[in-house]
Amino acid sequence: TARIGVLALQGGVSEHLEALSRVGAETLPVRTPADLSGLDGIVLPGGESSVLDKLMRLFEVRDPLITLLRAGLPAYGTCAGLILLADTVLDAAPGQQSLGGLPVTVRRNAFGSQAHSFDTTLEFGGIDHPVAATFIRAPLIVAVSTETAVLASLDDESIVAARHGNLLGTSFHPELTGDDSVHRYFLEMVLAAKNG
């Protein structure tokens, strides 16, 4: 199987650990640079992306994580985690920077305050049934590079899941729905990268 860490500095960590265990991964909360060694993949959870950015610097995991991502470590970012993976962030907090690697542009808090949290189901490329999705003060993917696969959208203009190589991001939280199919999809990405 695969050893998948969940960045555990802030945000919705335990639900990801549980979903990853259910699909058969070995899991580990990641809080220190040492926790990054020996991982086959990592999940960057939802939470508050500007706070996660600060905490990754404080705990000195930001630079080693960037090195691992650039070397091909598979990563899956949900919501704030998607913002961390995006190359370009619109409406970032002052001083906020992403890790980058996923060649997309995201807009933070892209849904108005009226609709900032909702549940829906979505067609998702590579998954054979509509996926349950919870959106909480979610970002939208407003532009993607030509090599990036769009996996799910709310409508023609609202991209909510994208993949480029070993990096996967969703605007929504599948870990809050009981539908483990996106975690299974990520585990398969991780196993394919691991087994060459």
Was 60 annotated as part of a binding site? no
Does residue 77 bind ligand GLN (CB under 6 A)? Answer: no
Q: Are 124 and 115 spatial neighbours (Cβ–Cβ below 8 Å)?
A: no
Residue with tokens 């190359």: 87
- Residues 6+ away with beta carbon under 8 Å from 18: 175
**47 annotated as ligand-binding:** yes
Q: Which stretch binds ligand GLN (CB under 6 A): 43-51, 98-106, 143-151, 186-194?
A: 43-51
Q: Establish if 134 lies at the interface with ligand GLN (CB under 6 A).
A: no
Query: Is residue 106 within the footprint of ligand GLN (CB under 6 A)?
Result: no
Q: Is 4 in the site for ligand GLN (CB under 6 A)?
A: no
CB of 169 to ligand GLN, least distance (A): 11
Name which position in 13, 83, 122, 132 contacts ligand GLN (CB under 6 A): 83
DSSP-assigned letter for residue 142: E
Given a contact cutoff of 8 angstroms between Cβ atoms, the answer to whether 71 and 164 are in contact is no
Sign of torsion over alpha carbons 72, 79, 9, 98? positive
Asked if residue 37 belongs to a known ligand binding site, the reply is no
Catalytic residue among 15, 16, 164, 173: 173
